[in-house]
Copies of this chain bind each other. A is one copy, B any other.
Amino acid sequence: MEKQTVTIYDVAREAAVSMATVSRVVNGNPNVKPATRKKVLAVIERLDYRPNAVARGLASKRSTTVGVIIPDVTNIYFAALARGIDDIAMMYKYNIILTNSDDAGEQEVNVLNTLMAKQVDGVIFMGNHIDDQLRAEFKRAKAPVVLAGTVDPEGDTPSVNIDYTAAVEETITALIKRGHTKIALALGPLSQSINAEYRLAGYKRALSKAKLPYDDSLVYEAGYSYDAGTKLQPVIADSGATAVFVGDDEMAAGIINASMESGVSVPDDLEVITSNDTIITQITRPAITSITQPLYDIGAVAMRMLTKLMNDKELDEKTVTLPYGIVRRASTKSAE
């Protein structure tokens, strides 16, 4: 028992009008006599007609769908952005095609191409690194692209972020003011601009302003995971650092738990500050002081920008920087 589809033709026939008129009614075109509109709506109701979005997309060249490329939905940070994106998309009647890229360049390019083949009206890209090939694809794409929570030092592509450099500088400066001189930096891969070109820069700037020497043996490159944190902790302990800035909340949780369990007290022996203020920062004991980011808003603003671009409007600013904050929790000592 195939369920046959009701088309605009069927409605037109039943309502004794042309399909153009039905189309007008469906799309809310005001040039329809109220009586006709009513008649058509009645038939639509009776036949339970739903316009076919694919046919509509072909005819109108707009799919009312946007592509979202995300490294991994199970990553709380990116999932929060995705939620902001989807909410705003829904508000503007767009749907989201979501695909995981695992941060792999080749996969990202592939995904972008399938998205373009599906005629998405725009793309929101989240990732940790943008290389030349990807940048080239963005340019080649016939739909606009906006980066969310993702930096591109080249700055061609519109993007929404916080000022990572300033945030790190501020936290490191606060640590220095409290007397720390050996501050470790636990980051993800330094191949990613956010680490190598933003966070590290903030760290260096804070040191240099305080006239402290930069010691690259205090900078650690690890994975974005709890286990990476537990493994890194003894190394940090050996380094003699009395404070550490961590680039990922799960990693920070690993460092904290491993510290406490090996007799290194947080915050007395080691102060810990992390980056993303996810729920994890509230769950550890001690809870973790963190940079706060308006995650949901980063996604939401990115989507808002994309809707403008999709409607050929100008952007007020291409590179949006949202405000960050810092929440003090128990993993750092209070300022004197």
Kindly report which residue of chain B lies nearest to residue A52, judged by CB atoms.
B119
Q: Contacts A52-B119, A119-B53; is A285 near B282 (CB within 8 Å)?
A: no
What chain B residues lie within 8 Å of A63 (beta carbons)? 54
Contact B54–A282 (Cβ < 8 Å): no
The residue on B at minimum CB distance from A115 is B95
Contacts of A270 in B (CB 8 A): none
- CB atoms of B253 and A283 under 8 A apart: yes
Of A116, A117, A142, A280, chain B has the most CB atoms within 10 Å of the CB of A117
- Asked if B58 and A55 sit within 8 Å, CB to CB, the answer is yes
Is there contact, CB below 8 Å, between B90 and A79? no
Interface of A is mostly: helix
**Please, which residues of chain B bring their CB within 8 A of the CB of A73?**
73, 79, 82-83, 86
Interface hit among A96-104, A151-159, A238-246: A96-104
Alpha-carbon gap, A74 to B86, bound state (A) = 11
Q: Which residue of B lies closest to A102 (CB)?
A: B87
Q: How far is the CB of A330 from chain B (nearest CB, A)?
A: 11
Among A53, A82, A90, A114, which residue has the most Cβ atoms of chain B within 10 A?
A53
Q: Is A113 an interface residue (CB 8 A)?
A: yes
